[in-house]
Amino acid sequence: MNGTAVHEQGKSLARSLRQERQPSGGNFDVTFTTEGLPPSQQFSAYREFCWPVIDILQDERSQAGFSASCEMWTLKPFAVRRIHTSAGCFERTATQARRDGLDHWVFNLARHGRQEVRTADGELDADPGLLSLFSLAGPYSVRRTSVDWVGLFVPRGAFPAIDKAFSHKAHHTFTDPLGRLFASYLVSLSDELPHMNEDDLAAAAHATRSFLTNFIMSPVGAAASEEPDLDAPRLRCIRDFIDGNLRSWNLHTGRICKMAGVSRSNLYRMFEPYGGVVRYIQQRRLQCAHELLADPACTRAVNEIASEYCFPDPSTFSRAFRHEFGFSPMDLRRHAGRDRTALEDRQLFRRKSGAGGWDILYGV
């Protein structure tokens, strides 16, 4: 069976096996397992579950059986993901990173098993218990043994000190005592999350924020940045204000500074990790336009959508859109008019269907 056939077969299987917000046996926002499937169908189901944010690579062992399970919880602004999976390889390409727009930081470790990670900046061999950090904004590939893996997803911008201190092109490791303490905290958190009620989850989110803030401000966490994370609350407020005014032609740096009570120099410094405040605003406008164009139910003209998000003319919008996503607005609109299966196969929309629990990350 070729890769396309495996992918097609997995779609219906993954949909039937994925469950959201379990009524019993745990408070998972998303949970998935291949248990109960025929061995020949397990790999295709898990591959579809993870698609399109990462691609699980097929090998000669895949059809003999592939044990995998995943649980995911929302602890705003964080998400926690725990995976048990058979040995194998997976990758996230630069094209995938550009098209889905996810750029979260991921603090992660293998509780059991080993991982070999390759990025643009080099390779990393991660033994069990080793805490590392990577970004979904950059491409990478991983080969691993059977693992029990835990990841804490942190939105870019929630902790500006992380954005300043680390490169999205590399995996960073933390081997000092505080790094090991943080790793132990993530292990304990993943063990306790299935048993927590709503009040417990709120308290866990607060504790995780405090732990991460102290970790970042420590000498090892702040290795490349001596500034404490004092701007985070104000930055979140500014980002919310920008999102609420993306359709306004009057959204400019002077208005933002007045609303937030900051100087232009401070505003530029806060948005430096995003390429500047003007770049951030344009990127958010393009992402919103992308969602409309990718919706098969949306029949509005491209020119109308471009004007709604404050692009002065269609050609300017088209150039910016192609630069951001790698294809034109009309390319996306044409494929959005076809059935959803064709749309998925061509990867021409930001998938928010819930597969793999990735839609959770758009909301944290």
Could you report the per-residue pLDDT of 53-72, keeping only the tens digit for each? 899 998 877 778 999 999 99
**From 4-8, 115-119, 168-172, the region with the lowest mean pLDDT:** 4-8
Check whether residue 122 and residue 150 sit in a common domain. yes
pLDDT, mean of residues 8-35: 55
Confidence of residue 219 (pLDDT cuts 50, 70, 90): low
Check whether residue 255 and residue 336 sit in a common domain. yes
Check whether residue 206 and residue 290 sit in a common domain. no
pLDDT, mean of residues 161-169: 77
Residue 362 lies in a domain: no
Check whether residue 156 and residue 16 sit in a common domain. yes
pLDDT, mean of residues 31-51: 91
CA distance 341 to 355: 14
Boundary residue ending a domain (197, 228, 259): 228
pLDDT, mean of residues 198-208: 90
Check whether residue 220 and residue 278 sit in a common domain. no
DSSP string, 299-352: ---HHHHHHHTT-SSHHHHHHHHHHHHSS-HHHHHHHHTS-HHHHHHHT-S---
Boundary residue ending a domain (168, 199, 228): 228
Residue 304 lies in a domain: yes
Cα torsion 220, 226, 230, 235 to 10°: value is: -100
Check whether residue 258 and residue 332 sit in a common domain. yes
Check whether residue 205 and residue 311 sit in a common domain. no
Residue 363 lies in a domain: no
Check whether residue 78 and residue 180 sit in a common domain. yes
pLDDT of residue 331: 83
**From 101-105, 188-192, 274-278, 338-342, the region with the lowest mean pLDDT:** 338-342
At 334, which CATH number?
Answer: 1.10.10.60
Could you tell me the CA-to-CA distances from 150 to 19, 141, 312 in Å, in that order? 19, 17, 45
Could you tell me the CA-to-CA distances from 320 to 137, 281, 292, 308, 313 in Å, in that order? 19, 12, 16, 15, 11
pLDDT of residue 97: 79
Note down the domain range covering 334. 232-346
Confidence of residue 304 (pLDDT cuts 50, 70, 90): very high
**From 88-92, 146-150, 270-274, 282-286, the region with the lowest mean pLDDT:** 270-274
Residue 357 lies in a domain: no
- Helix, strand, or coil (residue 361): helix
pLDDT at 325 over 80: no
Number of domains in the chain: 2
